[in-house]
Amino acid sequence: MKVLLDLQYLNVATTGIKTYMLELAKAARKYPHPDIEWIFSHEPEKQAVDDSFKGTKSKIQKLNYHLDYFRWKEFQLPDLVKKFKPDVLICPDFVSPAASLPCRRLTVIHDAFFWQMPENYPRWWRKYFLNLIKKGLWEDTQIITTTEYSKNSLIEHLGNSWPISVVYQAPKGLTAAADTQCLRKLGLKKQEYFLHIGTFDRRKLLPLLVEAFAAFQNHSQSNKKLVLAGGPGQSKRMDDFPVVQKLVAELGLQDQILVPGYLSDGEIKSLYDGAFAYVFPSLNEGFGIPILESMGFGIPVIHSDQPALMEVAGGAGLPFQTGNRDDLTEKLILLDREKDLRSQLVTLGRERAKAFSAEKFIEAFHRIILNPTS
């Protein structure tokens, strides 16, 4: 059984989808199946560092990227199918070619954000991208998604025309050595900061976290800090980075809330190693990788009661009502005060993280590849 994995999108992918694609490729190599031959469209690590289209600013640059992506999906990828004659094509970035193909398709649609939150995307771009998605959903296609929540959301917006399977992904394998100077450079002490890692997309509700943290400090007189690591949102329409910066300044919390930007894997590993807790206030997620990364590091997690995060956490996190600043503040205070609760969450989290290994991730794909009805 020959399987072609489309890795073109790694040249611009960020955060969740990038992790998904890289970990899938790594797992395919680390845990080979005797009946499956994997073919990669690109060498994953090399494609991930290709910066030809990263950081595009001008309309011309963005147009060139979209043309390049369209050429790949509609012409170059079908040519690879003709060349390698795979039995299965996996497209892990929402879009499969509109061309007729002589093989099964497994198309990964990570979430239903394009349908659920249209206000977060430029109208013309959303219409164009949804058209690409729908044109690729035909012939012998099976949709793969990340959680039962995402599956139900996709059924609501796409109907039952295509079989949809849930495959739980593996968190990022942080193999780099921890940067031992990271905490010192940021002025942090172990167990003395709350952590969030990711883009400043509007749906992450990071201004809410800033406000809740300010209220937490007022109530508890704690010396703990808040670290918001990561870069701006993926578009001006979706970006809360300037909002957070302004809010931090207005609250006079520049010394207590750190916004260090993008960090290396070694620096991220160091932050996970030393954090008191991870806070994930998101309004909407398809999965929630940082929950598993945190639990794997033995860090308790406070998360919104958004369905996908509840599903991934599996009762091993401390939930608060989505969008409720006062409830989030109460959970920050509770975790800071109750040492036994923190210890309990650490134990539960470590056990929960074991259910999301790279081996289980690829085994789920193996079952679907070898048994189309699974």
Give residue-wise pLDDT tens across range 276-297: 999 999 999 999 999 999 999 9
Q: How far is CA 352 from CA 36, 50, 209, 240, in A?
A: 29, 35, 25, 31
The pLDDT of residue 133 is 96
Q: Left, alpha or beta for 288 (phi > 0: left; psi -120 to 50: alpha)?
A: left
Q: What is the mean pLDDT of the chain?
A: 93
The pLDDT of residue 64 is 86
Task: Calculate what percentage of the chain has a pLDDT beyond 90.
Answer: 82
The pLDDT of residue 15 is 76
Q: Element (H or E) spanning 209, and its range?
A: helix 206-220
Count of CB atoms situated within 10 Å of the CB of 107: 22
Q: Element (H or E) spanning 259, and its range?
A: strand 257-261
**In this structure, are residues 3 and 369 in contact, taking their beta carbons and an 8 Å threshold?**
yes
Tell me how far apart the alpha carbons of residues 232 and 225 are, in angstroms, rounded to a whole number.
Answer: 21
pLDDT classification of 238: cutoffs 50, 70, 90: confident
Instruction: Please name the amino acid found at residue 85.
Output: K
The pLDDT of residue 236 is 74
> Are the folds of 2-170+357-370 and 182-353 the same?
yes
Answer yes or no: CATH 3.40.50.2000 is held by domain 182-353. Answer: yes
Residue 175 above 80 pLDDT? no
pLDDT classification of 53: cutoffs 50, 70, 90: confident
Tell me how far apart the alpha carbons of residues 49 and 45 are, in angstroms, rounded to a whole number.
Answer: 7
What value does the mean pLDDT take over residues 150-159?
96
Please name the CATH architecture into which domain 2-170+357-370 falls. Answer: 3-Layer(aba) Sandwich (3.40)
Q: Which long-range contacts (CB under 8 A, 24 or more apart) does 352-356 make?
A: 352/292, 352/295, 352/313, 352/314, 352/315, 352/316, 353/171, 353/292, 353/295, 353/296, 355/168, 355/314, 356/168, 356/169, 356/170, 356/171, 356/292, 356/312
Domain ranges of the chain: 2-170+357-370, 182-353
**In this structure, are residues 107 and 143 in contact, taking their beta carbons and an 8 Å threshold?**
yes
Residue 110 above 90 pLDDT? yes
Instruction: Please name the amino acid found at residue 55.
Output: G
pLDDT classification of 372: cutoffs 50, 70, 90: confident
Task: Calculate what percentage of the chain has a pLDDT beyond 70.
Answer: 98
Rg (Cα) of the chain, in Å, rounded? 21
pLDDT classification of 328: cutoffs 50, 70, 90: very high
The pLDDT of residue 332 is 98
Residue 103 above 80 pLDDT? yes
For residue 280, give the 3-state DSSP assignment.
strand
